[in-house]
Chains A and B, each alone.
Chain A
Amino acid sequence: MNIKPIHEIEKEIIEDFALFDSWEDKYEYIIDMGKKLPVLEDEHKLDENKIKGCQSTVWLVASYNDGRVFFKADSDAIIVKGLISMLIKVLSGHTPTEIIDARLDFIREIGMMTHLAQTRSNGLLSMIKQMKNYAIAFQAINSQKTDHK
């Protein structure tokens, strides 16, 4: 289980990227992250899990277990997939509150903000919102349960 705080995982990624001195190295790393992202089973590739960008598509599923949120995702474009892979590494396995509060500054720090700015083309920003929405929903379920106790 993921126990490192979110900001520490972000810091590790930023440190990793600081070692790269060319854009090629950065993107090769991201592409590699994309390739290593665990396969999202076809049964999850439903319209309801789809975040459609203008050019590429993202699929996102979330589950809630023992007070922690777990994400699985996929994309048809490998660079987006690599960025997704990093987001999952940072957020998956944390509590709803931690996910809601995550600032995700690492995206800017590693120089990948342009991919978020391309909101219409890749659905990445919508995916981050969706991850937070899941966290909000799970938090609500959680507090309902607590109320009933």
Chain B
Amino acid sequence: MAILDLRQQFPILNRMVKGKPLVYFDNAATSQKPQVVIDALTHYYTHYNANIHRGIHTLAEEATMAYEATRRTAQEFIGAVSEEEIIFTRGTTEGINLVAYTWGRQNIGTGDEIIISGMEHHSNIVPWQILCEEKGAVLKVIPVDDNGELVMDTYKALLNSKTKLVSVVHVSNSLGTVNPIKEIIEAAHQVGAKVLIDGAQSAVHLDINVHEMDCDFFAFSGHKVYGPTGVGVLYGKKELLESMPVFQGGGEMIKEVTFEKTTYNDLPYKYEAGTPNIADTIALKAALDFIKETGKATIRAHEEELLAYATAQFQAIPGLKIIGNAKEKVSLISFIIKGVHPQDVGVLLDNQGIAVRTGHHCTQPLMTRFGIPGTIRASFALYNQKEEIDALITGLHKTIKMLS
């Protein structure tokens, strides 16, 4: 079976944890890396490590070419019109902060309104809170219903001429909900607001086309798309990126520096100050190519099968409640078990070689909304198998028995 072949490309999945074969269900936190990504990193350091863009020697040229090749691949990966719209960041969080500190400072004033949703990751809450505090702007929140879906009527009622930005998550990291972003973007544009989409969870599962979507900004992380940590992409519409002030000052982002005045470099380098994360950016290409070759449709079909299989099994466990039952979900299940603290479940599953995530998943307001301290989250990737879900179910039965 194709999935078994794919699985063999991820060397870490062969390891044992506490004497048991690893079952890795923490993919929403970070995915494992295929051999091609690991090889790309090693190959770079072994053969052509050099600082990029400025050097005129062979190594610098090779490194620059590889680095810029990732930009083209990333552009295709999310359907951006131009390479200049692809800014390399450290990850989604830095991408959002970049927009808050540049576009935000330039365009948000006293009394303006920013809309986020009740299912945002702290990374898409805190930068806007900081900005609102600085500018005397107001943060509004789209509520979440009991199924874990956004209340769209309330969203539309929140929009008005004071709304300057809508920043929402494409796919919830805590619930798996796929939000109707096309509808969100259209409605926001009608009142003249810009839209940022947090794509940290969606980029790996869904087909992304920022051009069709018509969002103004889109941010995602490399390490959640089978790529290395420490590299991410911020997409912005070219005209916006051109009009925005710079983020960080330093090398690479300048054209000419005198003590009197500095002129800035063109896009995308204007936002990439200092020596970037060259190795990880280069290896990100291998990850994006890997996804492309595998095919997102193939990946999704497999993950949907896993989700349906796991959901049915979970529902049969007495006292287990799934948090987040949106009609459209990615392959992630958040749940609680009556009378049991999520952390205890995580500890006991770990002793059985099963890695899940427990806690608030950096979405404390969402947990408060559901009146719970946290959940247990199992998130599936292309290399997971039904047998592993069976192992989780067996593990859960054992865990519940030990804790009751």
Contact residues of A with B, CB < 8 Å? 23-24, 27-28, 31, 54-56, 76-80, 115, 121-122
Contact = CB atoms under 8 A, between A and B. Distances in A.
B343 A55 contact: yes
B342 interface: yes
A31 B399 CA distance: 11
B351 A79 contact: no
Interface in B1-58: 18
A77 B359 contact: no
Most chain B C-beta atoms within 10 Å of own C-beta, residue among A28, A77, A115, A121: A77
B402 A27 contact: yes
Given A55-B343, A77-B344, 9 more contacts: A27-B402, A28-B402, A55-B358, A55-B360, A56-B341, A79-B344, A79-B348, A80-B343, A121-B359
B403 interface: yes
Contact of A55 (B348, B351, B359, B403): B359
Contacts of B348: 27, 79
Interface residues of B, number: 15
Given A56-B343, A121-B343, A31 B373 contact: no
B341 A78 contact: yes
B374 interface: yes
Given A31-B402, A55-B374, A78 B344 contact: yes
A23 B373 contact: no
A122 B346 CA distance: 12
Contact of A122 (B343, B360, B374, B402): B343
Nearest to A122: B343
B246 interface: no
A121 B374 CA distance: 12
B346 to A, nearest CB: 8
Contacts of B359: 54-55, 121
B347 interface: yes
A91 B198 CA distance: 48
27 contacts: A23-B18, A23-B351, A24-B351, A24-B402, A27-B347, A27-B348, A27-B351, A27-B402, A28-B402, A31-B403, A54-B360, A55-B343, A55-B358, A55-B359, A55-B373, A56-B343, A76-B373, A77-B343, A77-B344, A78-B341, A78-B344, A78-B403, A79-B343, A79-B344, A79-B347, A79-B348, A115-B347
A122 B342 CA distance: 12
Query: Which 6 residue pairs of A and B lie closest in terms of their CB atoms, listed nearest first?
Result: A77-B341, A55-B359, A77-B343, A55-B343, A23-B351, A56-B343
A27 B374 CA distance: 22
Contacts of B374: 55
Nearest to B18: A23
A76 B403 CA distance: 13
Interface string B346-373: 0110010000001110000000000001
A24 B399 CA distance: 10
A96 B374 CA distance: 37
Most chain A C-beta atoms within 10 Å of own C-beta, residue among B342, B343, B359: B343
Nearest to B19: A23
B79 to A, nearest CB: 37
